[in-house]
């Protein structure tokens, strides 16, 4: 639906200006009406999804909304730890002894272990979310 809306928006923008005396290839106002209809359908769908997510329970969480928020945070935490570990383990070759030497100030194995543990939590939570999606219909 959002892809269709993006395509309509592009078509509207392509047809709002024409050379004097010419006609647009498509009526931008008619396209705008169609876009607004799709926007209202999207609003209704989002409302139904949010209502359902508030009503569906996930073990260890208040509801699906809480589980989704937790999953998003876990993803951020995993990405940061992976990035920190990668950056901290980078090697910098020196040509001469007078060049600056860089040393890591974080425990790379510990950060990688944390990333692995958080990744396992993320996979487990994602599995529970997928299971709940299969077991619950959109309201």
Q: What is the pLDDT of residue 101?
A: 78
* 5 half-sphere exposure, CB direction, 13 A CA radius: 11
Q: What does the domain layout of the chain look like in residue ranges? A: 1-55, 61-139
Q: What is the pLDDT of residue 99?
A: 74
Q: What is the pLDDT of residue 102?
A: 80
Q: What is the pLDDT of residue 118?
A: 98
Phi, psi of 98 (to 5 degrees): -80, -10
Residues 6+ apart with CB under 8 A from 136: 52, 56
Q: What is the pLDDT of residue 73?
A: 98
What's the predicted TM-score (pTM) here?
Answer: 0.76
* 126 half-sphere exposure, CB direction, 13 A CA radius: 11
In the DSSP assignment, the letter for residue 20 is T
Mind listing the pLDDT tens digit of every residue in the chain (139 residues)? 889 999 999 999 999 999 999 999 999 999 999 999 999 999 999 999 999 999 999 999 999 999 999 999 999 999 999 999 999 988 766 667 777 778 888 999 999 999 999 999 999 999 999 999 999 999 8
Q: What is the pLDDT of residue 100?
A: 78
Percent helix, strand, coil in the chain, to 5, is 70, 0, 30
Q: What is the pLDDT of residue 122?
A: 98
């Amino acid at each position: 639906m959002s892809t269709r809306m993006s395509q309509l928006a592009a078509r509207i923008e392509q047809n709002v200006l024409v050379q004097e005396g010419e006609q647009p290839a498509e009526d931008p106002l008619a396209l705008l009406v169609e876009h607004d209809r799709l926007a209202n359908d999207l609003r209704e769908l989002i409302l139904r999804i949010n209502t359902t997510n508030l009503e569906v329970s996930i073990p260890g969480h208040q509801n699906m909304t809480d589980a989704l928020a937790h999953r998003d945070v876990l993803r951020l935490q995993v990405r940061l730890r992976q990035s920190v570990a990668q950056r901290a383990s980078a090697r910098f070759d020196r040509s001469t002894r007078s060049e600056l030497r860089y040393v890591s100030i974080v425990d790379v194995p510990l950060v990688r272990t944390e990333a692995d543990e958080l990744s396992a939590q993320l996979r487990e939570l994602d599995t529970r979310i997928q299971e709940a999606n299969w077991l619950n219909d959109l309201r």
